[in-house]
């Protein structure tokens, strides 16, 4: 490979007595001299190389068949109105529809396909009133986190010119029952506030319809701590307001106060605990709460509305030792509880006093969304999927527990051709880790099958069986797919999460390397046939794995990653993740971070596997500087000229572009790169 010329500076700083080299720091500032031309040259090189790989036309044709299908989401009922997402086979984005009653005519509420000519305007979410007459919704440019809230009258389709709220990046609208206004969290858009400090300036406010948002009264002031973020929720009857203060992904405080007493002090529901607590629902005089306080696998409680505290609450569904309570909702007078059992979901119905009533029948081993519905309506809806089952939406009768298939996504694949296994292996310290394997039936265990290993391992995120259209050309060509349930995730409860964070983060990388070693030892594949892929925190995962064990992998796809762990907290939303990773500002935490930071582990002369970095030009969550610096460092360090590519998606945020055509383009590049690197022909 002939890479674009890249300047290397002699930048070295001493942190806690350690000299830390950072020769590509100049690539951090996207507006700095020479950075954009360098990015353009890298992207041009990557796309030129990828465009010449074999089999791309057949791959594109098959991916187009798989992606361009009619799809829909589960309906949401508000009063007598229903809201649902649906996308026709020839549409780029999901359209939001509404209808009066179950048998009503579907009408378009918001069509994101028509919001901009180039598809750069994205719909972030919709938040209807309890009677379904009004809806708040968020729009963003280029699918970025930065977004603006609007309010629409559902029947007329008219959007208010007054009720326009910028800085609505991570919020919903908690409506008053009379539709006069809503509570929300706002992030300041003032460019004078340093980006890494903005999360600490978020405030909870109340917006009265028809009034200037700039005048919205503050319900909860800014914490001034960028590691603490705030949220708000309102009971359905509008009588009780709940305030959440989250300290990363492992603990929060919850407070409440009567809505009618705007100046009343916040009363603690759960405060000062090394745990997380959520309000599930307020119903018939009780507050239903989920918590992992003294219950790493979670439990369900209820307390009187007059004293909605953990101390006053009664445990109605105790913690299970063999499963994690993943979700709870109150629908049709029943408690619908979703559990994870060995990283796959089951759903159970309980009475309001917590007594078990019945299991909800599921088609097979897979994943379900939580039950969607209202406490006073008997019907609920949930989504089911598995590695071989595209999304299915079921309607449940909460009184009888019976379910019926309400809608499904039809994707042209033959699930009977593939086998799904769940295996166990020992990580470096002896911990047992589970992993899902998907491959054609009857493969030979002789090490010849190209495999793609995927993982995440952080932030309490659980990887359960789910359908992905993009992996099917790979599987149909004879490749295998593996998903490892690493520590740091939530598959086995909060203890599992904590065993993969802060000074225990290396456990996550050991678990992932252990998964690769298992696949090789059992002769599912071999190192030159094994690819790894991850994004965001998963991008850190594959970056760490490839720099710690470059001999173990034949290809790497690293998307929107964190890779410079010494300076990650200084950009994007980095300071909000300090509770998960730690910070180099602390001497002990610096030692841990510097030891595994992929950017700092690169060694000149090492033979690293072919690597495709996937970056997004509008990613305002994880700064694209990480991919830029890592690509530059690897290109300079690897002596044998195997491709180290940096592909930059235009008009895309952290989650990529939200258009089908962009997903197809990205998948063509990803899988043609993997197939060429690992010797798989489609």
DSSP string covering 104-152, please? Answer: SPPEEEE-GGGS-TTS-EEEEEEEE-TTSSEEEEEEEETT-S--EEEEE
What is the torsion angle, in degrees rounded to the nearest 10, for the CA atoms of residue 435, residue 449, residue 681 and residue 670? Answer: 30
Task: Based on the residue annotation, tell me whether 439 is a catalytic residue of this protein.
Answer: no
pLDDT in tens, 71-113: 999 999 999 999 999 999 999 999 999 999 999 999 999 999 9
Residue 305 in 3-state DSSP? coil
Residue 49 in 3-state DSSP? helix
Query: How high is the pLDDT of residue 653?
Result: 87
Residue 153 placed within a domain: no
Closest C-alpha to 250, from 222, 279, 291, 199: 291
The answer to whether residue 657 scores a pLDDT higher than 80 is: no
Closest C-alpha to 4, from 51, 54, 42: 42
The answer to whether residue 682 scores a pLDDT higher than 90 is: no
Could you tell me which residues come within 8 angstroms of residue 176 by beta carbon, excluding any fewer than 6 positions away? Answer: 182, 234, 238, 259
Give the whole-angstrom CA distance, residue 233 versus residue 127.
12
Q: Which residue has the tokens 């897979």?
A: 366
Residue 330 has a CB neighbour count (10 Å cut-off) of: 24
Q: Which residue has the tokens 């149909």?
A: 476
pLDDT confidence band for 121 (50 / 70 / 90)? very high
The answer to whether residue 639 scores a pLDDT higher than 80 is: no
pTM of the model: 0.97
51, two tokens: 């465009």
Where are the strands (E) in 443-536, listed by range?
Answer: 451-454, 480-484, 530-535
- Which secondary structure element, helix H or strand E, spans residue 522, and what is its range? none
Closest C-alpha to 506, from 452, 475, 559, 545: 545
Average pLDDT, the chain: 96
Angle between helices 660-678 and 56-67 (to 10 degrees): 140
Domain of residue 438: give its range.
Answer: 12-65+413-678
Are residues 567 and 545 in contact, defined by beta-carbon separation less than 8 angstroms?
A: no
pLDDT in tens, 230-247: 999 999 999 999 999 999
Residue 517 placed within a domain: yes
Task: Based on the residue annotation, tell me whether 16 is a catalytic residue of this protein.
Answer: no
Are residues 473 and 682 in contact, defined by beta-carbon separation less than 8 angstroms?
A: yes
Residue 416 has a CB neighbour count (10 Å cut-off) of: 8
Residue 666 placed within a domain: yes
Are residues 434 and 355 in contact, defined by beta-carbon separation less than 8 angstroms?
A: no
The percentage of the chain sitting over the pLDDT mark of 70, rounded to a whole number, equals 100
Are residues 270 and 281 in contact, defined by beta-carbon separation less than 8 angstroms?
A: no
pLDDT in tens, 362-384: 999 999 999 999 999 999 999 99
The answer to whether residue 128 scores a pLDDT higher than 80 is: yes
Give the whole-angstrom CA distance, residue 444 versus residue 323.
34
The percentage of the chain sitting over the pLDDT mark of 90, rounded to a whole number, equals 92
Give the whole-angstrom CA distance, residue 234 versus residue 595.
44
Are residues 88 and 70 in contact, defined by beta-carbon separation less than 8 angstroms?
A: yes
Cα torsion 300, 304, 309, 310: sign: negative
Residue 230 placed within a domain: no
CATH number, domain with residue 529:
3.40.50.1820
Give the whole-angstrom CA distance, residue 584 versus residue 592.
9
pLDDT confidence band for 138 (50 / 70 / 90)? very high
Q: Which residues of 362-381 are buried (b: 16+ CB within 10 A; e: fewer)?
A: beebbbbbbbbbbbeeebbb
The answer to whether residue 658 scores a pLDDT higher than 90 is: no
Between the CA of residue 317 and those of 23, 312, 373, what are the distances in Å? 55, 15, 21
pLDDT in tens, 40-77: 999 999 999 999 999 999 999 999 999 999 999 999 99
Are residues 403 and 394 in contact, defined by beta-carbon separation less than 8 angstroms?
A: yes
Q: Long-range contacts for 277-283 (Cβ within 8 Å, ≥24 apart)?
A: 277/252, 277/310, 278/254, 279/233, 279/242, 279/254, 279/308, 280/328, 280/329, 280/330, 281/236, 281/329, 281/330, 281/375, 282/235, 282/236, 282/237, 282/239, 282/240, 282/308, 283/236, 283/330, 283/352, 283/375
Number of domains within the chain: 1
Residue 102 in 3-state DSSP? coil
pLDDT in tens, 252-272: 999 999 999 888 999 999 999
What are the phi and psi torsion angles at 623 (to 5°)? -60, 130
Least-confidence region, from 3-7, 617-621, 673-677:
617-621
pLDDT in tens, 497-510: 999 999 999 999 99
497, two tokens: 């999460």
Closest C-alpha to 370, from 326, 334, 340: 326
Residue 392 placed within a domain: no
Residue 192 in 3-state DSSP? coil
Could you tell me which residues come within 8 angstroms of residue 89 by beta carbon, excluding any fewer than 6 positions away? Answer: 68, 69, 70
DSSP for 197-266, written as a single string: GGGGG-EEEEEETTS-GGGPPEEE---S-TTEEEEEEE-TTS-EEEEEEEETTS-EEEEEEETT-TTSPP
* DSSP letter (8 states) at residue 681: -
Catalytic residue among 654, 666, 672, 677: 654
The answer to whether residue 122 scores a pLDDT higher than 80 is: yes
Angle at 140 between CA 137 and CA 144, to 5 degrees: 130
Residue 141 placed within a domain: no
Are residues 181 and 206 in contact, defined by beta-carbon separation less than 8 angstroms?
A: yes
Catalytic residue among 536, 583, 615, 618: 536
Residue 474 in 3-state DSSP? helix
Residue 278 placed within a domain: no
Q: Which residue has the tokens 């063509």?
A: 668
Residue 541 in 3-state DSSP? helix
Residue 178 placed within a domain: no
500, two tokens: 């993969």
């Amino acid at each position: 490979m002939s890479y674009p010329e890249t300047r290397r500076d002699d930048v070295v700083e001493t942190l806690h007595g350690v000299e830390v080299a950072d020769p590509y720091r100049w690539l951090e500032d996207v507006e700095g001299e020479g950075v954009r031309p360098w990015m353009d040259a890298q992207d041009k090189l990557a796309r030129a190389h990828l465009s010449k790989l074999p089999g791309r036309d057949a791959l594109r044709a098959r991916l187009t068949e798989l992606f361009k299908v009619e799809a829909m989401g589960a309906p949401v009922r508000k009063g007598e109105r229903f809201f649902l997402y649906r996308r026709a086979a020839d549409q780029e984005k999901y359209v939001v529809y509404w209808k009066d009653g179950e048998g009503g005519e579907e009408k378009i509420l918001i069509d994101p396909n028509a919001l901009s000519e180039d598809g750069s305007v994205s719909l972030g979410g919709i938040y209807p009133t309890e009677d379904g007459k009004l809806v708040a919704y968020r729009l963003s440019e280029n699918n970025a986190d930065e977004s603006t809230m609007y309010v629409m009258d559902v029947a007329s389709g008219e959007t208010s010119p007054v009720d326009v709220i910028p800085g609505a990046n991570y919020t919903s609208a908690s409506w008053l029952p009379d539709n006069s206004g809503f509570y929300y969290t706002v992030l300041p858009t003032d460019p004078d506030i340093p980006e890494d400090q903005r999360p600490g300036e978020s405030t909870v406010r109340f917006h009265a319809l028809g009034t200037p948002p700039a005048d919205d009264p503050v319900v909860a002031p800014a914490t001034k701590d960028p590691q603490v973020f705030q949220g708000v929720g309102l009971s359905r009857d509008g009588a009780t307001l709940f305030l959440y203060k989250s300290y990363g992904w492992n603990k929060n405080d919850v407070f409440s106060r009567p809505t009618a007493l705007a100046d009343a002090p916040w009363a603690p529901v759960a405060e000062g605990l090394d745990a997380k607590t959520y309000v599930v629902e307020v119903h018939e005089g009780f507050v239903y709460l989920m918590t992992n306080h003294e219950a790493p696998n979670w439990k369900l409680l209820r307390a009187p509305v007059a004293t909605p505290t953990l101390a006053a609450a009664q445990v109605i569904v105790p913690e299970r030792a063999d499963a994690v309570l993943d979700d709870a909702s109150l629908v049709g007078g029943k408690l619908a509880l979703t559990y994870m059992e060995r990283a796959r979901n089951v759903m159970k119905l309980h009475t309001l006093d917590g007594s078990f009533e019945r299991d909800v029948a599921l088609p097979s081993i897979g994943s379900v969304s939580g039950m969607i519905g209202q406490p006073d309506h008997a019907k609920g809806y949930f989504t089911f999927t598995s590695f071989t089952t595209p999304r299915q939406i079921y309607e449940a009768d909460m009184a009888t527990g019976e379910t019926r298939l309400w809608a499904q996504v039809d994707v042209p694949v033959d699930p009977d051709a593939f086998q799904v296994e769940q295996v166990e292996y020992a990580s470096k310290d002896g911990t047992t880790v589970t992993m899902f394997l998907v491959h054609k039936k009857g493969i030979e265990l002789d090490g010849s099958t190209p495999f793609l290993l995927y993982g995440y391992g952080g932030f309490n995120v659980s990887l359960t069986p789910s359908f992905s259209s993009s992996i099917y050309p790979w599987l149909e060509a004879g490749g295998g797919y593996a998903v490892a349930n690493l520590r740091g995730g939530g598959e086995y409860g909060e203890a599992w999460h904590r065993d993969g964070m802060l000074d225990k983060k290396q456990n996550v990388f050991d678990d992932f390397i252990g998964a690769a070693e298992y696949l090789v030892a059992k002769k599912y594949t071999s190192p030159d046939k094994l690819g790894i892929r991850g994004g965001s925190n998963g991008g850190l995962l594959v970056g760490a794995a490839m720099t710690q064990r470059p001999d173990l992998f034949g290809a790497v796809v690293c998307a929107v990653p964190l890779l410079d762990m010494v300076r990650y907290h200084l950009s994007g939303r980095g300071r909000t993740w300090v509770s998960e990773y730690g910070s180099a500002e602390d001497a002990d935490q610096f030692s841990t971070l510097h030891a595994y930071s992929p950017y700092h582990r690169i060694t000149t002369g090492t033979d690293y596997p072919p690597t495709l970095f996937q970056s997004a030009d509008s990613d305002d969550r994880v700064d694209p500087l990480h991919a830029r610096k890592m690509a530059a460092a690897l290109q300079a360090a690897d002596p044998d000229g195997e491709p180290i590519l940096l592909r930059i998606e235009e008009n895309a945020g952290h989650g990529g572009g939200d258009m089908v055509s962009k997903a197809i383009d990205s998948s063509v590049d990803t899988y043609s790169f993997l197939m060429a690197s690992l010797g798989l022909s489609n």
